[in-house]
Every structure is written in structure tokens, then in C-alpha cells.
Structure 1
Amino acid sequence: MMESPEEMLNNQKEQAARSLKAFMLTNSTKSNLNLYDHLARLLTKVMEERPENVVDVIEDLSREVKRAGLQNTQSTLRDIHVTTPPQVTAEQQKVLFSHKGGEDGTQEEQMESPLPNVAELAFYLEQAGVGLGREETYRVFLALKQLVDTQPLQHCRFWGKILGTENSYLVAEVEFREGEEDEEDALDEAGEDEEREAEDSRGDEEEARTAEIISFPKSTYKPPPVVPKENNGTGANKFTYFVCREPGLPWVRLPPVTPAQVTVARKIRKFFTGRLDAPIVSYPPFPGNEANYLRAQIARISASTQASPLGFYQFVEEEGEEEEDSSRISFEENPDFEGIPVSELANSLSNWVHHVQYILPQGRCTWINLAEKPEEEEDPEEEKEEEPDEPEPEVGPPLLTPLSEDAEINNTPPWSCKVSSSIISKFAIAVLCSNLWPGAYAFACGKTFENIYIGWGSKFLAEGYNPPVPPPPQSEYPSGPDITEAADPSLEEEQALKAALEEQRESQEEMEDAEGDEDEEDDD
């Protein structure tokens, strides 16, 4: 059946309308919206709000409808800033690069400053194949400047770096000006004396209370005397040491070392953690924390590895001293020292000497007789006990002893010496390396020399380390009739003893009666 023209026109209009609707339903590739839904929402908004002059604000309404239909894919909140460890370190070291004071510094202030030339030290160490790298060395340089500016120092030297499992220690060796350190030491000693007196008074009170309750026998045991530490500026405490974990962090002063700490440090081996307050768990027990152990190891390393060219130092000649006196401990720089050729320094250890005192087995650099009693302590009423034999004084190698006299340990030479460059020998330097303390180095070139240590703070052992075995337990008190407890007798033994005592009593009575009868007969 043929369609009429009107029907054909209507069908064409419907198809055009469907095509237009399909076109209007096409989503945008940018906003994922289509025109049909947008117009529907726009007309709905117009009918709901019925604004005045709608033709004038239709564009704004269209923009609002479109904005409301968009999904919020971006948040206006910022992410939390996470500070990384390098940023924390950079913030700490930022203070090192801040310039304090005026730009025009006087030459006198620069001349009097005890700040060492770490840049020159790094130049020589780089030739020796040792060092911390230029960037870290410069930060250490600035950290030492910070220490010099905050402390009244007369001498300052970069001692080295001791590595740790968590953090490392940068070590500075310093000397205070005269009179500057005495006040702090006096306060520290006064505090220690007050604590000691308080502990002694508490102990006396407890003993008095215990004696009132129970009268215990008085013990005759006397503990061995404590070896006193050496005064600041002498022996193992000649120098003061400051440490810090990173350049920019505050410098911490290490306490003086005691003979007991040195003695125990020789028997144990511990890695450093990088925390000065960390406990030292070992056997034998170490008297202190990681700060004390670090100070003891620094003293041991300095006494064993600090070396200088022969003739750079000379003893201070005083009246009444012999030329070969081994007890001389004061020396000074030799103004007539001209230097030793690098080839001779590299080929012979006799041209190197120790300029730090040897630490004796007692834990001190100077031996002290603990058996000697002062006259005030002698009491005439007390019974005089047999005095022990006088101990033999401990003697070590004197100062400025050549390194060639150092003893080997397990067929290991204590030192190795070389030239930094055999190709350009004219500008080479002599490098000295310690085999007993890995990480200890010294270099010399003309009148210039220096020592440095970069290592774990442990001594080399040819054999595996085995912790010392604890001592055997104390033996029991010897048995004897005076202290041995007798076993309880049985019933038969008690009855036999009772019968024997009865017979003994009866026999004594009979003897007394017989003696009485004889006396009566004599009277008659």
C-alpha cells in the first residue's frame, strides 16, 4: 500500500527528530556530558527558579549547570609534606654556612684562632688514599670552626672518625686555655664528692640499723684499692675530646678516662652504636656507658698510633735532669728540625717516633704504688699485720721511642710504610699505616706531618675473638668438727648412751660412799 505524501512527510520529520536527538545524546570527549541532558537540566533549573530576564542570564545558568554536572577529580587538599633524612641533615647543617660577625675580620683574630687547616690536611690525605671526601671534609671544617667559636680553646685538632652501627662519631682533640677548664673540673669533682659522701652516709645508716637488729660478725675482708685516675692535662687525660654525630649537631665533651675503664676495654670487643648513653653489655662488666668506652678506645688508639718524624720534637731540658731520663714527659717542637727525606721515612721505621705516652697495664701512664699506706692511716692500737711484698713498678717504653722497637703480634708487623707515588717521587709524601689498629694513618712531607684515624675502633686480632670465660665459683668452706653438723642418733644409740651414763653415775656414787667410810674409820 502506497503511503500518502502527508505520511511520508511525518515519517521524515520523525526520522529527523530521532537523528537530532541521537546527535544531542552524543557525549563530549572532554567533559563526558551531552547536549540533550544539559538542556533538560537547564530548562528544569529555569522552571524551578524562574529568574527575571532569563534570556540575559541563560549563559550563566548554563555554566552553573555544567559545573554541577562535572565530577570532582582533583582535590584542593595538599599532601602532607614528608621530611626525608637528607632534608633533615641539610637543615641541621644550614647553620654551619651562616656568616657571623662583620665582613672585615681583623688579622689578629684569624691568627689567634686555634682552628686547624683541615683543607690542607685533606689535600695530603687524598694523596695517601685516605680521607672522608671533599664535601664531608669541608663540613667537618665548618663544624670545627663552630666548636672553636663556642669553646675557650688553645689547641684544636681533627682526631678522626669512629664508625658505628647506627651513627658515627667525629672526634676533635682539644686543649683548653689556662684556667678555663679548672672551674668546670672543680664543679664536676665537687659534685662527685657530694654524691660519694651521700652514698657513704646512707651505707653507714643502713649498717647501724642492721647492727641494732642483729649483731653480725665483722668481716675482715678489704676490697682491693681503686686505682686513681690521672689528672686532666696529664697521662691518658692530657687532651680533652669532643664528639658529634654529624656536622651541625652540637659537640659533646667526653668524660676523663679512668684506669679501670682502660683495663676492661683491653679485654672486650664491642662495636659502637652511635649513642653515647648506650649501655656496654660485656664480660667482664665495663664500668660506664658508650661515652666512657669511646673515651677509653681513643686513649688506647692515641697511645699506640700517634707518631711523628724523628727530631720534630725534643725534650724540655730542665736543671737536675739526666739526658737519658726515661721519666721525662714534657717535650716541645724542635726549631732546628729541617725535615727528613721522604724516601728515608718510607724505608725505615727508625725515623718515626711515638709522641704519646704508653699506657701501662695498670691503666695509667705513670705507675702508682697502691701498697704504700699514708702515715695518717696507721693506727698503733691495731695489730700489725704482715706487710705484703713491695710490688714491682710497671715500666713502659719512654716517649719519643722509635717505631722500629714496637713488638709484633702473632707474626704481624705493627706498621707499614710507603710512598704515595713512585712515579712522581719529587712531590710524593711518606705514608705510615698501622696494622694493629686498622684505620690509623700518618703522613709526613718536609716539616709537615699529621695523624688521623678512620675506623671501627677495634684492634686487629690475628685469631678469632673468644670472650673470656667467667671465673670458677668459689669453693665451699672446708669441713671440720667445729662446723660440721652431726647426724641425729637412732633410738638404740640413745638408749645405749643413757644406760652407759647410768652405769657411770652409779659407779661414781659407789666410789664416793667408799671414800666416806674410809674417812670415818680414820677418825675412830
Structure 2
Amino acid sequence: MHEPPSPAVPEDGQEKDNKTRPQKPDQDQDQRESVSQSHAPGQAPYQAYEDRHGPYRPHEPGYGLYQPGFSPYDDQIPEPESRLLAVQNAKAYLLTSSTTSGLNLYDHLANILTKILDEKPANAVDIIENISKDVKWAQFHKKMDTLRDEHEILPTYEAAEKRKALFLKGNGEEEEELEEETEETPLPNVMETAFYFEQAGIGLSKDESYHIFLALKNLISVQPIQICRFWGKILGLEMNYIIAEVQCQEGEEQETEEEEVTEEEDKEVGEVEDEDEETEKEDKPPESTYKPPPVIPKEENGTGTNKYVYFVCNEPGTPWVKLPPVTPAQIVCARKIKKFFTGRLDAPVVCFPPFPGNEANYLRAQIARISAGTHVSPIGFYQFPEEEEEEEEEEGGRGTYEENPDFQPLSVAELVDSLSTWVHHTQSILQQGRCVWLNPFKKSEEEEEEAEDDEEEEKEEPEAPQQEIGPPLLTPLSEDEGIQNIPAWTAQASTNLIPQHAVAILQSNRWPGAYAFASGRKFGNIYFGWGHKYSPENHTPALPVPVQAEYPSGPEITETRDPTLEEELAFKASKEEASDAAEEDGEDAEEEDEEDDD
């Protein structure tokens, strides 16, 4: 059988190829020999490995790349220069950087192969896409440098450190003592109150409520507290305020002692100033007769606006801070301004009219206003004591109440249908800034005796102001005034789908964020908001007082206009005529006297 002729190769090309082609290792030579020996009889041996289609094979990358003088369909072997140029062009293309990521394909493929050979995963061809993504993500990781990296403290770690003290038990506590204390402890059940408010979608998260529960426990263990309640949360620009309403045990009068000391110091300073004034009485300028209005004193601790003491903290776990008692001047000024809280108690309150105090005093004034307007309870839950004097009613109404043991709870439908089933159990604040009106011009017995001796002072006494009378305690909410066309309160049930287990929810429209609930014999009040009262119109700050006149204007003081020349001449002529007439009258009188003498 005739064998097909092998493809002819020019001798010149063969010689030139042998001269220029580098020598292959012995492995390639063994491979060519094995290929040539393994051909079937009657067939031409396979072409040599290097005599096929150049540097690229059908299964290799770059196959099909067209270059001048080289084509995969050509049977001739290209020249080494064209092959080298093709390789350089291909490599240059692979080294081209991306305009978006800045990476190039050549390095990316090298990194992929390195990762595959290092890790040697099973079925690498199936996860080649994921390996490519991992290699790309690794390129954008922060590179390590010679400097030591700073330890980053996560916010969750900081919060955990602050709340770590809440979960520590005190030393020496026993289970039996805890059981006895739970019966008489003033610690409120915050989680139960949060459950009822949660029925209407009101309140905080369970974690935060539990942290506040533990924070109140720590407060009670440190302070001598008789009654404690979670008042609410006021939001701030930088930090928030968590507020606890407490009633301290009897026998603590530290604040009153401090105030008495300050009054004695003020008297001593005033006496020294009087002595200095007596020594410098020579050539004094005229003094002003203006007398400032008398300062209205604050209500005593445990009464009126200072009935309760308030502790605040920014977050559960931070130390509690006791707020100072509120004064009438602070409440009166707080009604005229509207400021956002910062979260720092020592921050100044920049406003007009100027507020007498810092943010701690402003926070205390807003708490008193919100409590007086939004603390409500179902009608009949509280009652007035039977033994009360009539003088208390004449002064400003009854100021004390007690829990009614015979209280019969109202149904949810009755609490929702009518606002007359809810009453205020906190005294309202008068325009004076107090719950009980006080006459600022009323003098004590000693001052009245001194005033009897000085009659002049009695004439200058101003008229006594009219007494303010506010709504009495336990007044129904149906008597509250609305805001234009908006009612003061909105009552609704927590759910209409299951009315048997619904809770009555009351929302204040005058103080957004104030809520109350009632379910059977249980009720509660809470506040979550910015501490601002609702106003349908934009807030307009008060204008300054008009400037006082320097002197009174009248005809006696007003300067007259200058006379004209004609008026001056007429005035002189009239003056001369008057003098001439007086001289003639004098001469006539002398002549008459002489005649009488004759």
C-alpha cells in the first residue's frame, strides 16, 4: 500500500529553522521519538511537536490570534520574530489595567492560579468564579504597614461596658432577704408597664426597658427612696434624658439648711455694703426710686411643683444626677421660650427672655409643666381624705388625696367613649408659677409694725394683686380646653379585633408624647418626646420691653422757638410804653399829695 507523502519542507527554511531555533531538552526529543514510533503501519508518522501550528495549540489560550505572516490555517511555521511579536502583543494586552478597578488580567490570572495551587480545592473548575471574586476582594484589603494599628472600640462594646454594672449583684445578698424585700420594695415593675403600653405600639424596646429596670434598682439601693416611678424619656440633640420620679423618705432637710445659710450670708454682705455707703454719702448723684417686684419664693419640698424629686441619666448604667428644685421664675420663663435639649445638664440656655439657670433647671421646669398637665387616672381611683380642715379649701383647694379602697374599675368602652371618666391627680400650675397662690406684698407681723411707724411707706404701697384660683384636684378631662379645633385628649382602645382583652389608651394633644393607659385596677402615665408643648402657630419669641423715656415731655419743659426781629421790636415798644405810663402815673400822684398838704 502506497503511503501518502509527507508535507515537503523547503531545505532553506529547514536549515534556517535549525540554525535559529533553540535546542529543546531531552524530554521533547523523547516525546518526538515516541510519537514517531507509535504510528500505525501503512500511515505516515505524526508531525513533530514543533512542526505543527506554531507556538499556540487549539487547546491553549491565544489560539486564533491573528498576526501578520501567521495564521492558524497556514501549514508553514512562522518566523521566530513574528512569533515573539505575537507573544509580546498578547502579554501587553493582558497587562492592560482596568479603568475602574486598576487591576490587570495578567496578574489576576496569576493570582488565581497561585491560590488554586496553594489551596488545591476539589472541583476547582466549578468554583473558579468564586475564587476570582475572592482574589479581587483581597486586593482592596488594608495593607499592613510598619506602624502598630490602633485598636478600634466598637459602639456595641462601649455600650456593653456601660451596662456591665447593671448585671452585677451586690455582695452579701441572700435569696431569703430578696424575697422579703420584693414585697415592700419601692422598685416599680417597669416591664409590666411597658407591656401594657406595648399593646398600643408605645414605649421602648424590651432590652432598653429591662436596662432601665436595672438602673432604677441601683438608684433605690443608693438613695433613701420611699416611692419610685419611671417618668419617661426626653429626647436631646446630643444625648437623651431618662427620668425617674421619686419621693424621698421623711427627715431629709439638707436643702433647706443650705438655703438658710445662704440667706444669712446675704444679710452679712448687705450690712457691710450699708456701712460702706454711709462713709461715701458726700456729693452723691440722685438715686433711682425704682423698686423691683418682690421675688416669689419657691414651694417647699414635698408640696406643689416640688412634691417629687427627679433623678436623670443619659443611658442606663451611667450615674444618676439629682435635679434641683424648681422656682416660680423658672416656670414663668419656660412658658415663654422653646429650646431643644442638648443632653448636658450644665449647658447654658441662650434665649430671650433670659432663663434663670442652666439646662438642668430648664429640664426641671418642663418636667413640672408636663406632669401638671398630663398625669391622669380613672375617675374614682383616688379620693379626698375625709378629715380635712375647711381652711385648706379656702386657701386654694384640697391638695392631698388617697387611694380609694372601694374603687370599682370601669370597662374599656366607658373609658374610651367619654373623657369625663378620667381626672387629673396632679395640681395645676398657676400663672404665678406656683400651685398654691401667694401674695407677694403680704408682710409679716414684724414688717407690719415697722410700716405703722412710717406713714410715707403706707402711701407708696402698691395695690394687692387679685388671687389666682386654678382648677381643683381630680377635675375631669372633659373640662380641659382644646387647641383651636383639636381636642385636648384622644382616647382609643388598643385593638378593635379582640375587645375582650383591649386596653384603654389616652393620648395628649397638648403635650405630644404623653400617654396613659388603664386596664382594670391598673393604670400608668409615661412621656416620650422632645419636652415641647404643641402650638398651632410658629413660635415667636417675646420682644424686648420698649425703652423708657428719659424725661417727661410737657409745655413746662419744651423749648420755645426764637422770636423774629419784628416781634422783638414790638416787645421793646410795648415795654417802653408801659414804663412811660408808669412815670406819668407817678407824677400825677406826687402833685395830688402836694395839693393835699397845702
Alpha-carbon distance in 2 for matches of 1:451, 1:328? 22
Query: 1:475 is matched with which residue?
Result: 549
Query: 1:466 is matched with which residue?
Result: 540
Question: Alpha-carbon deviations, 1:360-405, whole Å to 9, x = none?
Answer: 1111111112233332441423324165544321111110111111
Alpha-carbon distance in 2 for matches of 1:512, 1:399? 91
Alpha-carbon distance in 1 for matches of 2:242, 2:452? 52
Alpha-carbon distance in 2 for matches of 1:518, 1:274? 103
Deviation at 1:198, TM superposition (A): 5.6
The match for 2:424 among 354, 357, 361 is: 354
User: Given the superposition, is the C-alpha separation of residues 319 and 91 from structure 1 closer, same or farther in structure 2, using an over 3 Å criterion?
Assistant: closer
Say if 2:374 is the partner of 1:305. Answer: yes
SS in structure 2 of the partner of residue 378 of structure 1: helix
SS in structure 1 of the partner of residue 455 of structure 2: coil
* TM-score, structure 2 normalization: 0.67
Deviation at 1:523, TM superposition (A): 11
Question: Alpha-carbon deviations, 1:110-152, whole Å to 9, x = none?
Answer: 3332111111111111112111111111111111111111100
Deviation at 1:276, TM superposition (A): 1.2
Question: Alpha-carbon deviations, 1:154-189, whole Å to 9, x = none?
Answer: 011000000011111111101110103x12432244
Query: 1:378 is matched with which residue?
Result: 451
User: Given the superposition, is the C-alpha separation of residues 246 and 212 from structure 1 closer, same or farther in structure 2, using an over 3 Å criterion?
Assistant: farther
Moved more, 277-286 or 209-218: 209-218
The match for 1:434 among 503, 508, 533 is: 508
- List aligned pairs for 1:195-234, cutoff 5 A: 196-197=266-267, 200-201=270-271, 204=274, 207-208=277-278, 211-217=281-287, 219=289, 221-234=290-303
Query: 2:32 is matched with which residue?
Result: none
Asked whether the 8 Å contact 2:305–2:435 carries over to 1, the reply is yes
User: Given the superposition, is the C-alpha separation of residues 218 and 449 from structure 1 closer, same or farther in structure 2, using an over 3 Å criterion?
Assistant: closer
Moved more, 351-360 or 96-105: 96-105
Asked whether the 8 Å contact 1:417–1:432 carries over to 2, the reply is yes
Say if 2:186 is the partner of 1:110. Answer: no
SS in structure 1 of the partner of residue 243 of structure 2: strand
The match for 1:444 among 518, 523, 529 is: 518
Asked whether the 8 Å contact 2:392–2:398 carries over to 1, the reply is no
Alpha-carbon distance in 1 for matches of 2:216, 2:203? 16
Alpha-carbon distance in 2 for matches of 1:213, 1:439? 62
Asked whether the 8 Å contact 1:155–1:175 carries over to 2, the reply is yes
Deviation at 1:344, TM superposition (A): 1.1
The match for 1:186 among 250, 257, 268 is: 257
User: Given the superposition, is the C-alpha separation of residues 222 and 76 from structure 1 closer, same or farther in structure 2, using an over 3 Å criterion?
Assistant: closer
Asked whether the 8 Å contact 1:339–1:446 carries over to 2, the reply is yes
Moved more, 80-89 or 155-164: 80-89
- List aligned pairs for 1:382-393, cutoff 5 A: 382-383=455-456, 384-385=458-459, 388-393=462-467
Query: 2:157 is matched with which residue?
Result: 87
Question: Alpha-carbon deviations, 1:414-439, whole Å to 9, x = none?
Answer: 10111111112222211111011000
Deviation at 1:317, TM superposition (A): 1.3
SS in structure 2 of the partner of residue 394 of structure 1: coil
The match for 1:134 among 195, 198, 206 is: 206
Query: 2:486 is matched with which residue?
Result: 412
User: Given the superposition, is the C-alpha separation of residues 86 and 382 from structure 1 closer, same or farther in structure 2, using an over 3 Å criterion?
Assistant: farther
Deviation at 1:483, TM superposition (A): 4.6
Alpha-carbon distance in 2 for matches of 1:420, 1:503? 104
Asked whether the 8 Å contact 1:369–1:391 carries over to 2, the reply is yes
User: Given the superposition, is the C-alpha separation of residues 480 and 322 from structure 1 closer, same or farther in structure 2, using an over 3 Å criterion?
Assistant: closer
Count residues in correspondence.
454
Query: 1:42 is matched with which residue?
Result: none
Alpha-carbon distance in 2 for matches of 1:320, 1:216? 52
Say if 2:436 is the partner of 1:363. Answer: no
Deviation at 1:247, TM superposition (A): 1.1
Moved more, 379-388 or 309-318: 379-388
Code of the aligned partner of 1:187:
E
Deviation at 1:472, TM superposition (A): 2.4
Moved more, 195-204 or 227-236: 195-204
Alpha-carbon distance in 2 for matches of 1:406, 1:167? 33
Alpha-carbon distance in 2 for matches of 1:426, 1:117? 24
Alpha-carbon distance in 1 for matches of 2:288, 2:379? 59
In our comparison, the structure showing a higher alpha carbon Rg is: 2
Query: 2:85 is matched with which residue?
Result: none
Question: Alpha-carbon deviations, 1:302-339, whole Å to 9, x = none?
Answer: 01000001111110111554998871111111111131
Could you tell me which runs of 5 or more consecutive residues in structure 2 were left unpaired when the two chains were aligned: 1-24, 26-109, 112-142
Query: 2:46 is matched with which residue?
Result: none
Say if 2:169 is the partner of 1:99. Answer: yes
User: Given the superposition, is the C-alpha separation of residues 407 and 370 from structure 1 closer, same or farther in structure 2, using an over 3 Å criterion?
Assistant: same
Alpha-carbon distance in 1 for matches of 2:265, 2:430? 30
Asked whether the 8 Å contact 1:165–1:271 carries over to 2, the reply is yes
Code of the aligned partner of 1:440:
A
Code of the aligned partner of 2:169:
H
Query: 2:402 is matched with which residue?
Result: 332
The match for 1:156 among 224, 228, 245 is: 228
Asked whether the 8 Å contact 1:96–1:248 carries over to 2, the reply is yes
Alpha-carbon distance in 2 for matches of 1:234, 1:319? 16
User: Given the superposition, is the C-alpha separation of residues 463 and 215 from structure 1 closer, same or farther in structure 2, using an over 3 Å criterion?
Assistant: closer
Alpha-carbon distance in 2 for matches of 1:323, 1:227? 21
Question: Alpha-carbon deviations, 1:442-483, whole Å to 9, x = none?
Answer: 001111111000000001111222222323222342234665
The match for 2:365 among 283, 296, 321 is: 296
Alpha-carbon distance in 1 for matches of 2:522, 2:151? 50
* TM-score, structure 1 normalization: 0.76
Question: Alpha-carbon deviations, 1:69-91, whole Å to 9, x = none?
Answer: xxxx9667532224344433332
Moved more, 197-206 or 354-363: 197-206
Could you tell me which runs of 5 or more consecutive residues in structure 1 were left unpaired when the two chains were aligned: 1-14, 16-28, 31-72
User: Given the superposition, is the C-alpha separation of residues 213 and 274 from structure 1 closer, same or farther in structure 2, using an over 3 Å criterion?
Assistant: farther
User: Given the superposition, is the C-alpha separation of residues 401 and 481 from structure 1 closer, same or farther in structure 2, using an over 3 Å criterion?
Assistant: closer
Query: 1:124 is matched with which residue?
Result: 196
Deviation at 1:216, TM superposition (A): 2.3
Alpha-carbon distance in 2 for matches of 1:90, 1:399? 45
Asked whether the 8 Å contact 1:271–1:456 carries over to 2, the reply is yes
Question: Alpha-carbon deviations, 1:251-285, whole Å to 9, x = none?
Answer: 11111111111111111111111111122222222
Asked whether the 8 Å contact 1:430–1:444 carries over to 2, the reply is yes
Asked whether the 8 Å contact 2:510–2:534 carries over to 1, the reply is yes
Query: 2:469 is matched with which residue?
Result: 395
Say if 2:305 is the partner of 1:236. Answer: yes
The sequence identity of aligned pairs, in percent, is 58
SS in structure 2 of the partner of residue 432 of structure 1: strand
Query: 1:285 is matched with which residue?
Result: 354
Asked whether the 8 Å contact 1:128–1:443 carries over to 2, the reply is no
RMSD: 3.7
The match for 1:342 among 412, 425, 433 is: 412
User: Given the superposition, is the C-alpha separation of residues 521 and 324 from structure 1 closer, same or farther in structure 2, using an over 3 Å criterion?
Assistant: closer
Deviation at 1:515, TM superposition (A): 10
